[in-house]
Amino acid sequence: MSVPVLVPAVGESISSGVLSAWHKKDGDHVSVGELLFTLDTDKVSSEVTALEAGVLKITVAEGTEVPIGSAVGEIDTAAKAVGKAEGEKLKVETVEKKPSAPAFTQQSNSPTAQQPAAAAPSQQSKSPIVQQPAAKPEGRVTRRKLTPLRRKIALQLVNAQQTAAILTTFNEVDMSAVMSLRKEVQEAFQAKHGVKLGFMSFFIKAVVEALQAVPQINAQLEGDELIENHYFDIGVAVGTEKGLMVPVLRDCEKLSLAGLEKELLGFAVKAREGKIGLSDLQGGCFTISNGGVYGSLLSTPILNPPQSGILGMHKIQDRPVAIDGKVVIRPMMYLALSYDHRVVDGKEAVTFLIKIKEALENPVRLFLD
């Protein structure tokens, strides 16, 4: 009996995906629960496992876009008794019978492989195994289809630029206090909570405080209505091999720095393993993007619709600044707030950034909260 291998539903709005990789070969024996293939959609990557045991027959090649519910292969359940042990035994018997075949044939490119074992050593010494060089791209360009995720990102970014009145305002923050506090409490913090104290948790807490002070930035347009959010679900943009993703940390106002760090670590592991789910990406009322991890000194981040604001973090750089009439060197970071000018006025945007700057330059209060 043959059972079809179907593309599962992975979200209400997702109608198709790309079969990006088979993890089993055609003719392999699979067990229930074994990983079969990876499906990439415009939102997430999903790993599909076998629902039946048997021999796999692949009918759709890697890189093919497939509709949800379509068959990409089948499993012959009648062959499920043929396990790994039987397969290995069959291979051994085949190898043992090969030496009785003629040592040389016109079709053979490697006669030593078919000679008796006694003759093999001398022949093998004359025929060393040559490693083939890695294949190089042919021609001057390489053309390939965009992945569903990359297509979705492109559409979202263009849509944001075309539908919102995006403006960016800048400020800078002295990171001395945050860096000093992290260094002072890091060992005790890690021993108590099992995670390191990073910079992002401070920024999330500062953003929540600023959103509470300037609620207009926690609002969004929907048709001719303005919706003001009274919750603080913050998206943190992360770059992955498959593209940009924005997992959302829920109810950040209720989480301590340790709680935020644990949430961030969980998403980092999921992103690395390609296991971020659709529910992890939905919602969110504000986004933080950290271009500083790649060395960016300054940028103008693009809104994540329908949100009205996004904060851009950048590289911490030692710079000369004037303090109390003296020029001193301090670790400074440029901050960029892009906002929808249809919803947020300039005064509110500038006030929001100043609130973040004040919170980060006096982080003890955030830590105690």
**DSSP secondary structure string for all residues of 116-161:** -TTTHHHHHHHSPPPPPPPPPPPSS----PPPHHHHHHHHHHHHHH
User: What's the sign of the alpha-carbon dihedral 5, 10, 16, 22?
Assistant: negative
Give the Cα separation of 19 and 38 in Å (integer).
6
Half-sphere exposure of 308 (CA within 13 A, CB side): 24
Q: How big, in percent rounded to 5, are the helix, strand and coil portions of the chain?
A: 35, 25, 35
Residue pair 150/243 in contact (Cβ under 8 Å)? The answer is yes
Q: From its phi and psi, is residue 100 left (phi > 0), alpha (psi between -120 and 50) or beta? A: alpha
Q: Is 345 a catalytic residue?
A: yes
Active-site entry in 28, 76, 233, 341:
341
Copy the structure tokens of residue 299.
């940028």
Active-site entry in 26, 251, 345, 369:
345
Give the Cα separation of 257 and 252 in Å (integer).
10
Q: Is 230 a catalytic residue?
A: no
* Amino acid letter for position 240: T
Give the Cα separation of 238 and 311 in Å (integer).
13
C-alpha distances out from residue 240 to 161, 204, 266, 313, Å? 23, 21, 15, 18
| Catalytic residue list | 341, 345
